[in-house]
Chain A
Amino acid sequence: MPAAGLAPRRLHPVSPFVGALGLARRQFLPLLLALFAGRNVGPFPIVLGLILTVGVVISVLEYVRRTYGIEAGAVVVDEGVIVRRRRVVALERIQQVDAEAGLVQRLLGVVTLKLDTAGGGADADVTLSVVSRAEADRLRAFLRHAGAGVGLVAPHDEGKAEKAEEAEEDVLLRIPPAELALAGITSIPLLLVLTAFGPLTELFEERVDAVFGWIETTAEGRPPVAVAAVVIAALSALWLGGAALASILSYGGYTLTRRGRDLHVAYGVFNRREASMAIDRIQAVRVHENLVRRRLGRAALHIQSGAIVGEKTRLVVPLLPAAAVHDLVEVVLADVEVPAGALEPAPPAARRRALLRRMLPAGLAAAALVAVVPAMPAVAIAVLVVAVAAYDGELHYRGLGLGTTASVVVGRAGGLARETVIVPASRVQALRIRTSPFQRRARLATLELPIAGTGRTPTIHDQLELRLAQVAGAVLPVSAADERRQRAASGSRAD
């Protein structure tokens, strides 16, 4: 067993200043700008200085009074200037340890360490802002090490984990900048980039006006279609470039590694983020592919853990070759066999359902349109609407898929953007088969596989009810075997 504890200690001495700086940036900078913008300054700078000074003093006091350490299998944080507070978080409840460093923090060689636990409430996670790089590494190693005895690492692999501590570190994936640019360009929420440009256009309003003026003068006397084409091309180039740049900045230097029974991810050019997740806590993996990415043979991965708190319940792989997905998922889900090759398609009844569900509302709307405006353009629009609905329905039908092995269930759904969810049978908590009146007529059903945590429930849509019952029946024994193993392990731990 590892050492029992870590003596109480303070955060890094620059902590209060990093804290104050953050506060200043968030609260006072806008205020300052506002003050200088309006010329009537008056006594405000003095008041502001006073507030800032008080802020720094409070930060320093808080720093002096805050200690953290590890004793008796728990992280203990003592804090509070006047009212003392002690927080105790059991090591076995820590789901994930994240390190994050902004630009200033990186220059100072410090990081913010975040311990996410499974459990709700305000005390759910512990944030250590800030500790030195070396201290963060030491703490993380300690947590991993200590976790081996209390549940961070599956007990039946204790020996393996201890060894892993020494050397074993597998780099599973690095994503080069070109791929990241592609990830940005092919990501669906491209609109985000446009909204990001919003504030910028306000800042450079005059210049934007100048650009428009320049466009107007240049465009004079030229055919309007050509001008429109050039403007649209320029805007799209800007848009795509922005998306690519944003993706490179946020995911730059993306590295996914496996250290023993932990997954570890680090990324970001300015804001460097690091996160770890215990492999034994991973509940499901989702593969996202939209139409463009499918054509390019690429996919994105979302790895979902059982943590309940915050958004740190998943790790994201922004883009990887579709051919590499299978092997990576088998590493990430450890000890399972993921089906290779094509999934089972949904039965023909599912195609009828997919088409009907989309064409019926579209048809009704189209009929209403033609009834109100009995003219040729309206008819053309009506036909187009129904055709698009049919295409969408066909896409959704083709998106449906089901796959199983002895240890996992795989379900795929979606039209333009497809999502494949891969759930180890051992993680399934319950089984639910749903049917709507329409599904019952076609002997179809939907299978839900609830897993721990607050993420979305893995769902397999529109397969034959009999087939789903068969899948469900095969899941339970595997799930039970896993539970038995864990109970046996926790029993031996109590000794």
Chain B
Amino acid sequence: MRLVWTVKLAASAVAAVVVVLLWALAAGVTLLVPLAVAGVLTAVIVWWPRARYEHWSFALGPATLELRRGVLWRSETSVPYFRIQRVDIERGPVERRWGVAELRVRTAAHAGDARLPGIAETDAEDLRRTILTRASDDTTF
């Protein structure tokens, strides 16, 4: 998943650098500006996906699905299995290329969704079924 995020981030970073480069050429500003931007973005590309990945975890607890995410602004979400309405599997083009998928666990609340990214494609369906099974015969309370 780190790879996927790196690729996505790198793509937007390259686009940003190109924009800055064009602007620098057009405005006649020294080329040091786009160079500096590129440097900062490279550092971000190396650091951010790693940090994001390390701070994004989930666990199937006895009664709830637990999700922790966020590097600076962190959140810990507990979704009780009995409230789960739907589990979707989502894959974008980049995700498909590297064989990963994102599971979206949905409840009746708009704000109650939990996203589990970076699940191996082969495991996604199993995990989905596991969660749904727990959702339908939850007797933990």
Contacts and interface: CB of A to CB of B under 8 A. Distances in A.
Nearest to A448: B111
Interface of B is mostly: mixed
Given A436-B73, A477-B141, A483-B83, A429 B112 contact: yes
A454 interface: yes
Contact of B78 (A431, A435, A440, A477): A431
B97 interface: no
Nearest to B114: A430
A303 B109 CA distance: 17
B74 A434 contact: yes
Contact of A431 (B73, B77, B82): B77
Interface residues of B, number: 24
A435 B109 contact: no
A430 B107 contact: yes
A479 B78 CA distance: 13
A483 B85 CA distance: 12
Interface string B53-66: 00000000001100
B110 A453 contact: yes
A457 B109 contact: yes
A484 B110 contact: no
A237 to B, nearest CB: 44
B72 interface: yes
Nearest to B65: A430
Interface in A437-484: 437, 440, 448, 450-454, 457, 472, 476-477, 479-481, 483-484
A306 B108 contact: yes
A271 to B, nearest CB: 31
Contact of A430 (B73, B79, B141): B79
B72 to A, nearest CB: 5
A224 B110 CA distance: 57
A357 interface: no
A302 to B, nearest CB: 17
Contacts of A430: 77-80, 83, 107, 109, 111-112, 114
A353 to B, nearest CB: 15
Contact of B76 (A429, A433, A451, A476): A433
Contacts of A479: 80, 82-83
B68 to A, nearest CB: 10
Contacts of A480: 63, 80, 82, 138, 140-141
The CB with the most chain B CB atoms within 10 A, among A433, A437, A480, is that of: A480
Contacts of B108: 306, 429, 452-453
Contacts of A434: 70, 73-75
A437 B72 CA distance: 6
B113 to A, nearest CB: 8
Nearest to A452: B108
Interface in B101-121: 107-112, 114
Contacts of A481: 141
Interface string A32-69: 00000000000000000000000000000000000000
Contact of A432 (B76, B82, B110): B76
B74 A435 contact: yes
A229 B49 CA distance: 62
A430 B79 CA distance: 5
Contacts of A440: 74
A481 B83 CA distance: 12
B88 to A, nearest CB: 16
Nearest to A308: B110
Contacts of B114: 430
B20 to A, nearest CB: 28
Nearest to B85: A429
Nearest to A477: B141
Interface in A250-283: none
A281 to B, nearest CB: 11
A360 B139 CA distance: 50
B75 A450 contact: no
The CB with the most chain B CB atoms within 10 A, among A432, A434, A477, is that of: A432
A451 B108 CA distance: 7
Contacts of B112: 429-430, 432, 450
Interface string A301-328: 0000010000000000000000000000
A433 B76 CA distance: 5
A487 to B, nearest CB: 8
Nearest to B110: A454
A336 B81 CA distance: 24
A479 B64 CA distance: 12
A484 B123 CA distance: 30
A291 B73 CA distance: 32
29 contacts: A306-B108, A429-B109, A430-B78, A430-B79, A430-B80, A430-B112, A431-B78, A432-B77, A434-B73, A434-B74, A434-B75, A437-B72, A448-B111, A450-B107, A450-B110, A450-B111, A450-B112, A453-B109, A454-B110, A457-B109, A457-B110, A472-B78, A476-B78, A479-B83, A480-B138, A480-B140, A481-B141, A483-B82, A483-B83
Interface of A: 306, 429-437, 440, 448, 450-454, 457, 472, 476-477, 479-481, 483-484
Given A476-B80, A479-B80, 11 more contacts: A429-B83, A431-B78, A432-B75, A432-B76, A437-B73, A450-B110, A450-B111, A451-B109, A452-B109, A453-B110, A480-B138
